[in-house]
Structure 1
Amino acid sequence: MRSRTSGMWWGTAIEAPDPGALARFYAQLLDWSIVHEEPGTAVVAPPQGSVYIVFQQAVGYRPPTWPPTDGEQRTMMHFDFQVGDLDEAATEAVAMGASLAPVQPQENVRVLFDPAGHPFCLCRDDG
């Protein structure tokens, strides 16, 4: 029996004030390529291309607040990336334009903000 997801691709779309700039950040962070760019939209995908991230122009964009604050824009989703060396990965992400969140709730995770203010996590590979 053939899987109904066989041969499918999937992805997510993220709003940003400058989709091209945010696509360039994630392309560099993940060592992926920008596979499509036009005014208001940019798409990043890995070499095998079965997954993608679309960055879309958002008029009136407000970055989410993390940790959550009553009455403020909440984080709707975030990325987790597994890394071998947590401090090195965080330092590299900051050099690419990320910023370290002031609250760090776990020893084996670093919470950062991408250039548009979306939180993402670097998670140490303890396996």
Structure 2
Amino acid sequence: MPGPTALRLTTVLDCPDPVALADFYRRVMDLPVEAREENGGEWVTMETPIGRVAFQRVADYVAPTWPQGPHPQMQHLDFQVADLDAGHERLLGLGVPVLDESHVPDFRVYADPAGHPFCLTR
């Protein structure tokens, strides 16, 4: 008997505040997407042209450490942009902290409000 057929992949990020983190990524992606809250904001899903991203509340959430440490990151999001320098300046304008610029000109690493690393790439 064959297994189930995958219909869609959703990336889910644990965090202390799903509503706030969804809003952060909406601004990072600069897309007019709506976040759908479920369970009183315990889970938030964003349907975007580049995929589905969801955020779930974890009561005892501990932010990952970059690049190593007691809670090393297990995964991260990469956003490909047409102009890395312009994307970098836009994120700085949003107040996004830079974790690593040593890989310039190929990509740069930032942190979201919950501490997850994410990258802009060419």
TM-score by length of 2: 0.82
Structure 2's unaligned 5+ residue stretches are none
Identity %: 35
Separation of aligned partners in 2, 1:9 and 1:94: 32
1:11–1:122: structure 2 CA closer, same or farther, 3 Å change rule? same
Structure 1's unaligned 5+ residue stretches are none
1:5-44 aligned within 5 A: 5=6, 8-30=7-29, 31-37=31-37, 38-44=40-46
* Cα RMSD (Å): 1.8
2:26–2:32: 8 Å Cα contact kept in structure 1? yes
Separation of aligned partners in 1, 2:58 and 2:109: 23
2:22–2:35: 8 Å Cα contact kept in structure 1? no
**What whole-Å deviation, never above 9, does each CA across 1:60-109 have from its counterpart, x for those lacking one?**
2111111112xx101010011111221221121233342111x3331211
The aligned counterpart of 2:56 is 56
Q: Which amino acid in structure 2 is aligned with residue 41 of structure 1?
A: W
Q: Which amino acid in structure 2 is aligned with residue 40 of structure 1?
A: E
Alignment: residue pair count? 114
TM-score by length of 1: 0.79
Q: Which amino acid in structure 1 is aligned with residue 13 of structure 2?
A: I
